[in-house]
């Protein structure tokens, strides 16, 4: 059978911008990761706390409208989950402050404090325990499997740069992490707005969505680059998974061990040993600066150095197979 029209042929499909090539890599990674049944289960549980806390906002707003003591009890419970103090002690403290001052704080200030406390619970209690295993499912195979199967030869045989390849991989991990951090928190906020008795709640809490977005990005970006760097250092994804869990577990254990012997002035340095404590302090400080977390510049410096080092190592590892 004869073969006709050998050589290059004119492309009649739709042309796309070169800046969108990373989206192909991201799309492949997102669809591949979603095939995991464990990932789908964890993503479902990541959204449940936002709905439950939305019901707490409904109770709080209704009690505030009626002027009952239930509002103070709800505030005490929320703050207890953040500060680890007893709800009864916090409740009596709130009542005593109102007896001393003879008046109640403005409803807007109380509402902002309660809503920010619920968001801190979401970022500090429920979501980290889902974020860590979700990254362990998604990130370790992303680059290590490309090295093992030589798939990078197929990627870079196309007009795809190494930066676009890294952005595509990072977008895959980042999207799922945003589905665990930012999207449930925004869901909690909008559920609270819908369940509030009037629209004045927007005037008191308009800044919380912006704080949620900033907090989520400061958590997602370092975690994404760290996980991808670990994936690029080995061709066996299980080693990258072990390293990911080891950083979180042994870092927190080290923090617990040295916390008792460290001086009070070294608290920020000690807490920086644990990523868990670092992200807790960061989320608390951004969502409610009145908590007074000291020496936040140490945490920001740590995350900046961590992100820069991981990005540099990742770029070098991705470039290494293409060097002759």
pLDDT tens, position by position, 218-274: 999 999 999 999 999 988 889 999 999 999 998 888 888 877 666 545 566 666 778
Q: Are 184 and 127 in contact (CB under 8 A)?
A: yes
- Give 211's contacts (C-beta < 8 A, 6+ positions apart): 116, 119, 286, 287
pLDDT in tens, the chain (324 residues): 455 555 666 767 776 677 778 888 888 889 988 998 888 888 888 888 777 777 777 777 776 666 556 666 666 666 665 555 565 666 666 666 655 555 555 566 677 777 787 888 888 776 778 889 999 999 999 898 888 887 777 777 777 888 888 999 999 999 999 998 899 888 888 888 887 777 777 887 888 899 999 999 999 999 999 999 999 998 888 999 999 999 999 888 888 887 766 654 556 666 677 888 888 888 888 887 665 566 777 888 888 999 999 999 999 998 876 655
In the chain, % helix, strand, coil (3-state, to 5) comes to: 80, 0, 20
Global pTM reads 0.82
CA 293 to CA 290: how far, in whole Å? 8
CA 236 to CA 147: how far, in whole Å? 9
Structure tokens at 31: 């669809």
Structure tokens at 303: 């995350």
Predicted local distance difference test score (pLDDT) of residue 95 = 62
- Give 40's contacts (C-beta < 8 A, 6+ positions apart): 34
Predicted local distance difference test score (pLDDT) of residue 197 = 72
Predicted local distance difference test score (pLDDT) of residue 196 = 75
- Hey, how many other C-beta atoms are within 10 angstroms of the C-beta on 320? 10
Predicted local distance difference test score (pLDDT) of residue 84 = 55
CA-based nearest residue to 236, from 141, 150, 166, 316: 141
Predicted local distance difference test score (pLDDT) of residue 283 = 84
Predicted local distance difference test score (pLDDT) of residue 202 = 82
Under DSSP, the state recorded for 321 is: G
CA 181 to CA 130: how far, in whole Å? 10
- Hey, how many other C-beta atoms are within 10 angstroms of the C-beta on 74? 22
| Sign for the pseudo-dihedral over CA of 194, 196, 47, 118 | positive
Predicted local distance difference test score (pLDDT) of residue 263 = 56
- Hey, how many other C-beta atoms are within 10 angstroms of the C-beta on 33? 20
Predicted local distance difference test score (pLDDT) of residue 55 = 76
């Amino acid at each position: 059978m004869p073969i006709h029209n050998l050589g290059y042929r004119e492309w009649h499909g739709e042309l796309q911008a070169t800046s969108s090539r990373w989206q192909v890599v991201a799309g492949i990674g997102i669809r591949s990761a979603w095939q995991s049944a464990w990932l789908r289960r964890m993503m479902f549980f990541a959204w449940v706390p936002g709905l439950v806390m939305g019901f707490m906002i409904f109770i709080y707003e209704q009690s505030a409208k009626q002027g009952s003591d239930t509002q103070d009890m709800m505030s005490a419970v929320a703050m207890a989950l953040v500060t680890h103090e007893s709800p009864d002690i916090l409740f009596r403290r709130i009542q005593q402050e109102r007896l001393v001052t003879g008046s109640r704080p403005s409803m807007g200030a109380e509402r902002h404090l309660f809503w920010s406390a619920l968001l801190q619970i979401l970022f500090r209690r429920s979501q980290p325990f889902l974020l860590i295993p979700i990254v362990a499912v998604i990130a370790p195979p992303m680059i290590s499997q490309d090295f093992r199967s030589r798939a990078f030869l197929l990627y870079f045989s196309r007009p795809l740069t190494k930066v676009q390849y890294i952005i595509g991989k990072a977008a895959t991990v980042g999207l799922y992490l945003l589905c665990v951090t930012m999207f449930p928190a925004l869901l909690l906020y909008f559920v609270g707005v819908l369940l509030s008795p009037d629209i004045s709640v927007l005037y008191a809490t308009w800044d919380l969505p912006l704080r949620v977005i900033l907090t989520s990005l400061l958590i997602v970006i370092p975690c994404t680059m760290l996980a991808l760097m670990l994936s690029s250092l080995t061709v066996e994804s299980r080693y990258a998974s072990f390293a990911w869990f080891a950083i979180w577990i042994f870092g927190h254990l080290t923090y617990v061990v040295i916390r008792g012997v460290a001086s009070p002035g070294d608290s920020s340095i000690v807490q920086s040993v644990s990523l868990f404590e670092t992200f807790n302090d960061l989320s608390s400080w951004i969502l409610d600066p009145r908590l007074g977390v000291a020496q936040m510049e140490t945490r920001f410096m740590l995350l900046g150095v961590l992100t820069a080092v991981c990005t540099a190592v990742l770029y070098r590892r991705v470039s290494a197979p293409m060097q002759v």
